Amino acid sequence: MRRLPLVLALTFAMLSANAQDDFNYDVNNDGNINVADVMLVVNKVLGINNEATSEYRPIILKVSERPLTYPTAEKTSARRAPAFTTSSLETFYLNLMYKNKKTGNWDVSDQSHTKKTSNGLYENNGSWPSNDIGSSEAHVFAYRTSYKENEQPFKYINETPYLQISTEQSSNDQCDILVATEDVAYDDCNGVVSLTFDHVCAALQFSVIKTETLASYEVEVNEIVLHNVKTNGHFLLLSKEWSDIDNYSDFTLNAYNKEGTANAFTVSDTEATLLAKNENDFLFLIPQEISGISKGTAINEADNKSYLEIKCKIHKADNYIKGSSNSYESVFLPFSADLTNGAGHVHPFVISIGTSIRDADGNKIIN
């Protein structure tokens, strides 16, 4: 077998030199001419069954997506641009689940990394299971859940595969969670899988306006925080459903200046101010029903009910209703939303600052 390195070298040189000819030297159809193609040719020459050599069965992926939409039909054409598109998706992760022919059990591959190639396809550093081990069909699970490197959200318990998700509490740090699943046999696709990604969280977008009651007042907002929303959950990959949603926390909704940093702003009574960098920037929440506090409830008695805390100044000249010339003071509003079927949809909310705002004890501030 000492001649094998020479055969490899000569074959690779031949493929590279003739790559521009009409013959298809991309033997495995992965969009690249490399050593994997050489090995397929060499194995053929030596009489080795390529189907039985798992290390030379790469996973190649073509991707598309279902974009974010408004949940009501009359608004779906207004703005369909998602926060994360497959055109900007440079990398994602992959696991395979397949029936082991030898044991009869379901096996799961290790998490593998997938990156975009120059031809627009995605190349994975894992491989298909060999024919003598894996079944003819596999569950392919693809996902991007965080900007953090080497995070492993994929879990597999009692033959149930799921993603363990925890949403970031600052909209600045959030990642639009994309998931794609496909059941496919290697023999049917020759190793090239077509995936369609879904946005599995609800996309919220907030804007702020003041009511006519405060038209003669200047309202300056420094920060808005959404309190008591669940942040953790399991996304079940086979049923594409959420479960075990828990862990109440707070989300900071920032107002942005042109440089993208938090900045105080003056609220208008004629045009709402968007609390986002642009119209394609969202707060992503796990689908859930959010119940707001009742009017008149003190904040220390909220008991996991949701509300908005608005740090602001409200004044006429030097006459301050809330805050002072050098400080901001919090006012509060109940917040409720049914997001149980909200995955993949944009949910716009307008925060109205007027007679509904309350102090921390639940008392009205403006009558």
pLDDT of residue 80: 36
pLDDT of residue 172: 62
pLDDT of residue 30 exceeding 80: no
For residue 260, give the 3-state DSSP assignment: coil
Q: What percent of the chain has pLDDT over 70?
A: 77
pLDDT of residue 357: 97
pLDDT of residue 301 exceeding 90: yes
Gap between the Cα atoms of 113 and 60, Å rounded: 12
CB atoms within 10 A of CB 146: 18
Average pLDDT over residues 154-164: 95
Helix axes 3-17, 35-46, angle to 10 degrees: 120
pLDDT of residue 353 exceeding 90: yes
Gap between the Cα atoms of 174 and 47, Å rounded: 52
Alpha-carbon distance values, 64 to 47, 145, 180, 186, 254 (Å): 38, 17, 9, 20, 31
Alpha-carbon distance values, 74 to 69, 78, 173, 176, 194 (Å): 11, 8, 31, 24, 31
% helix, strand, coil for the chain, step of 5:
15, 45, 45
Mean of pLDDT over the chain: 83
Q: Comparing 24 with 199, which gets the higher pLDDT?
A: 199
The pTM assigned to this predicted structure is 0.80
Do residues 337 and 205 make contact, with C-beta atoms less than 8 angstroms apart? no
Q: Is 176 left (phi over 0), alpha (psi -120 to 50) or beta?
A: beta
The per-type count for the chain, helices as H runs and strands as E runs, is 3, 22
Over residues 163-187, the pLDDT tens digits come to 999 988 766 667 889 999 999 998 8
> For residue 22, what pLDDT band results from cuts at 50, 70 and 90?
very low
Average pLDDT over residues 94-117: 92
> For residue 26, what pLDDT band results from cuts at 50, 70 and 90?
low
Q: How buried is 183 (Cβ within 10 angstroms: 0-12 exposed, 13-18 middle, 19+ buried)?
A: exposed
Q: Which tokens sit at 96?
A: 């395979």
Q: Which of 283, 273, 270 is nearest to 171 (CA)?
A: 283
Average pLDDT over residues 34-61: 58
pLDDT of residue 168: 80
pLDDT of residue 243: 97
Alpha-carbon distance values, 355 to 215, 216, 333 (Å): 12, 14, 10
Over residues 6-20, the pLDDT tens digits come to 444 555 555 555 554
Average pLDDT over residues 292-312: 97
